[in-house]
């Protein structure tokens, strides 16, 4: 052999698969060295057992790519497998489905039962999903209570639909844990890759969007992504993002709608109604308020509304005097009502604006009133003790019982507009409105009818004994200047009538 070849052999090393005497195999590192001796050149082969090192390396890789709680692929491995699945779908001309799963109200489980029970739920959820997917499908934990399923090499799109249904249905039976049984549901979003220009990231985003839509539609179901859903969710996300800075940018303001005394047809109160002119134009309250509720933005917005309404009320009292100023009705969201410091917040706003508390009415929807009964009861009693009166808004649309209502310090019931709209022609709506008014009078409560738009509606409500009405028949919601002029007009007319009577 020439010296160059000898040198190469001396430096030769690599990994091999070796076997033991019992025939079992193990990973090894082999190196070959050559030495000159009196008898010529001698080759020495050294073999090192790599079993422990390989095991440690595999553990490191596994921990980097798998969720430690459930053992499922984590976000890193999910994306890697999805990228490979997209490449296979292109090569094989088959379909690929991605499902994004979110456990409904998982935070409540952690908050009420603790993280240990939450972990038990996550493990059980992963096992249930593994039990309904096909062999070879990937089930991964994306993070928190979010999971992803990758279902590739599909020849029939119906398989993806059936899989989404199975995942929703697998949560219908309760999950058992140390203290009993726990019922949970899942919202699932589905997107199908059909050969269009997509990436793993865009598929995950679309599946997540479809899942978000499932939650918006009521949870415990699955929704398939389409462009209409994508646009709708994008709009909601844009609204949610804009809400965080709307107050700082002075994009929000209050309009006021008069509440009219049925007997005198004069303004006895006004309701403060929030409005939002966003960067792209006016955004309707029925669009942004539910999003504000879900996102939590309703809390700073609600505080701002209360403060602004109190300041407006203070200017009217300075201008007209307390006795001639209508009361201010302000909406209180379900999220605000359960805040620990809601009483302190409102006390501070009333003190700062120097308005009498008995000039303020807080409107709470019937549904939100009975969501967290004990907390709501405590806060409403405390607010009522300040002098603030309480009205139940949209009455008749919720599911409260009379036993529950009797516990709350309620002063006013507001008949929902849906019963007023057809009161002239619908016997059922007529009967419901009449029953609410009769019951309220028996309980010593005042009644306000919302959405009154015709003289016929007004006449019927007047005949039933309704105390006050609110609606376009008298005025649309208007700015503070316009409402101030209406109050002035009422007071001028009242003064004129008194002078005529004295003559």
What CATH number corresponds to the domain at position 47? 3.30.450.20
Question: CA-CA distances (angstroms) from residue 84 to 67, 77, 90, 100, 190?
Answer: 20, 11, 10, 18, 19
**193, 225, 257: which is the final residue of a domain?**
225
**Across-strand partners of 32?**
45
Identify whether 37 is part of a domain: yes
Angle between helical axes of 298-320 and 285-295 (0-180°, round to 10): 120
pLDDT of residue 394: 80
* Dihedrals phi, psi of 312, to nearest 5 degrees: -65, -45
Whether residue 262 sits in one domain with residue 371: yes
Whole-angstrom CA distances from 116 to 71, 410, 426, 475 are 17, 41, 54, 56
Asked if residue 489 is part of any domain, the answer here is yes
Q: What is the pLDDT of residue 366?
A: 78
Angstrom distance (rounded) from CA 453 to CA 259? 13
**Any alpha helices (H) in 143-186, and if so which ranges?**
158-169
Residue 124 is part of a domain; what is its CATH number? 3.30.70.270
Position 98 in a domain = yes
Residue 26 in tokens? 């193990």
Q: Any bridge partners for residue 305, and if so which?
A: none
Rg (C-alpha) for the chain, rounded Å, is: 35
pTM of the predicted model over 0.85? no
How does pLDDT run across 122-141, given as a tens digit for each residue? 999 999 999 999 999 999 99
Same domain, 253 and 219: no
35-39, 169-173, 224-228, 293-297: segment of lowest average pLDDT: 35-39
> How far is the C-alpha of 182 from the C-alpha of 56, rounded, in Å?
38
DSSP helix/strand/coil, 443: helix
- Name the domain boundary from 164, 191, 225: 225
Question: What one-character-per-residue DSSP string does 316-378 give?
Answer: HHHHH-GGGSPEEEEE--HHHHT-TTHHHHHHHHHHHHT--GGGEEEEEEHHHHTTSHHHHHH
Domain of residue 86: give its range.
69-225
Domain annotation covers residue 266: yes
39 and 75, same domain (yes or no):
no
Q: What share of the chain is helix, strand, coil (3-state, %, to 5)?
A: 50, 25, 25
Q: Is the pLDDT of residue 162 over 80?
A: yes
Residues 111 and 249 in one domain: no
135 and 158 share a domain?
yes
User: Is the same domain home to 221 and 283?
Assistant: no
Domain count, the chain: 3
Do both 125 and 168 map to the same domain? yes
Q: Which CATH number belongs to the domain containing residue 391 in this structure?
A: 3.20.20.450
Q: Percentage of the chain surpassing pLDDT 70? A: 87
- Per-residue pLDDT at 46: 73
Domain boundary among 225, 252, 274: 225
177, HSE (Cβ side, Cα atoms, 13 Å): 19
Structure confidence at residue 3 as a pLDDT band (50, 70, 90):
very low
Q: Which residue has the higher pLDDT, 360 or 112?
A: 360
Token readout for 390 is 């309480």
For residues 314 and 275, membership in a common domain is answered with yes
Listed residue (286, 175, 291, 192) closest to 235, CA to CA: 291
Residues 6+ apart with CB under 8 A from 245: none
Same domain, 321 and 363: yes
**Domain shared by 261 and 384, yes or no:** yes
Whether the per-residue pLDDT at 397 is higher than 60: the answer is yes
Terminal Cα-to-Cα distance of the chain (whole angstroms): 138
- State both tokens at 206: 């679309």
Structural contact between residues 171 and 186, judged by C-beta atoms closer than 8 angstroms:
yes
Which residue has better confidence, 300 or 494? 300
Same domain flag for 341 and 314: yes
Please indicate, yes or no, if residue 234 is contained in any of the structural domains: no
Residue 107 has pLDDT above 80, yes or no: yes
- Residue 255 pairs with which residues in a beta bridge? 273
Tell me: do 135 and 207 sit in the same domain.
yes
pLDDT over 60 (residue 401): no
Neighbours of 416 (CB within 10 A): 22
Residue 194 in any domain: the answer is yes
At 55 the pLDDT is 66
- Closest listed residue to residue 306, CA positions, set 267, 361, 258, 251: 361
Pairing, β 267-278 against β 281-283: antiparallel
Please check whether residue 96 is in contact with residue 154, taking contact to mean a CB–CB distance below 8 angstroms: yes
Q: Is residue 77 part of a domain?
A: yes
The answer to whether residue 236 is domain-embedded is no
């Amino acid at each position: 052999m020439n010296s160059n070849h000898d040198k190469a052999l001396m430096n030769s090393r690599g990994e091999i698969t070796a076997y033991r005497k019992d025939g079992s195999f193990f990973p090894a590192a082999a190196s070959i060295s050559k030495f000159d001796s009196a008898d010529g050149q001698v080759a020495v082969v050294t073999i090192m057992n790599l079993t422990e090192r390989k095991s440690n390396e595999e553990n490191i890789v596994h921990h980097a790519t798998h969720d430690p709680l459930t053992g499922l692929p984590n976000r890193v491995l999910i994306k890697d497998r999805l990228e490979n699945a997209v490449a296979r779908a292109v090569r094989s001309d088959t379909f690929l489905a991605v499902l994004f799963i979110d456990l409904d109200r998982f935070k409540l489980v952690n908050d009420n039962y603790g993280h240990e029970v939450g972990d038990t739920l996550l493990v059980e959820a992963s096992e249930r999903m593994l039990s309904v997917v096909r062999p070879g499908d990937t089930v991964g934990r994306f993070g928190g209570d979010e999971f992803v399923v990758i279902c590739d090499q599909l020849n029939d799109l119906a398989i993806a639909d059936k899989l989404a249904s199975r995942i929703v249905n697998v949560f219908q039976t309760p999950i058992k844990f140390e203290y009993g049984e726990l019922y949970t549901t899942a919202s699932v979003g589905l997107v199908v890759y059909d050969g269009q220009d997509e990436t793993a990231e865009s598929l995950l985003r679309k599946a997540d969007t479809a899942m978000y839509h499932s939650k918006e539609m009521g949870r415990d179901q699955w929704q398939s992504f389409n462009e209409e859903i994508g646009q709708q969710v994008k709009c909601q996300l844009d609204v949610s993002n804009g809400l965080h800075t709307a107050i700082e940018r002075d994009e929000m303001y209050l309009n006021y709608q008069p509440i009219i005394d049925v007997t005198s047809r004069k303004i006895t109160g006004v309701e403060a109604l929030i409005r939002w002119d966003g960067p792209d134009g006016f955004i309707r309250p029925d669009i942004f308020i539910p999003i504000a509720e879900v996102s939590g933005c309703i809390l700073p917005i609600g505080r701002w509304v209360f403060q602004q309404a109190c300041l407006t009320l203070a200017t009217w009292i300075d201008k007209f005097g307390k006795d001639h100023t209508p009361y201010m009705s302000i909406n209180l969201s379900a999220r605000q009502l359960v805040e620990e410091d809601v009483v302190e917040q409102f006390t501070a706003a009333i003190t700062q604006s120097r308005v009498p508390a008995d000039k303020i009415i807080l409107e709470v929807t019937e549904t939100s009133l009975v969501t967290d009964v004990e907390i709501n009861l405590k806060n409403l009693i405390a607010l009522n003790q300040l002098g603030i009166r309480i009205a139940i808004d949209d009455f008749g649309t919720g599911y409260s019982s009379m036993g529950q209502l009797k516990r709350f310090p309620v002063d006013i019931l507001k008949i929902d507009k849906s019963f007023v709209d057809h009161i002239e022609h619908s016997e059922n709506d007529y009967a419901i409105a009449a029953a609410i008014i009769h019951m309220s009078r028996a309980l010593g409560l005042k009644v306000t009818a919302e959405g009154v738009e015709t003289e016929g509606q007004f006449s019927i409500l007047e005949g039933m004994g309704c105390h006050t009405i609110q609606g376009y028949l008298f005025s649309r919601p208007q700015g503070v200047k316009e409402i101030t002029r209406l109050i002035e007009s009422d007071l001028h007319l009242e003064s004129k009538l008194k002078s005529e009577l004295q003559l």
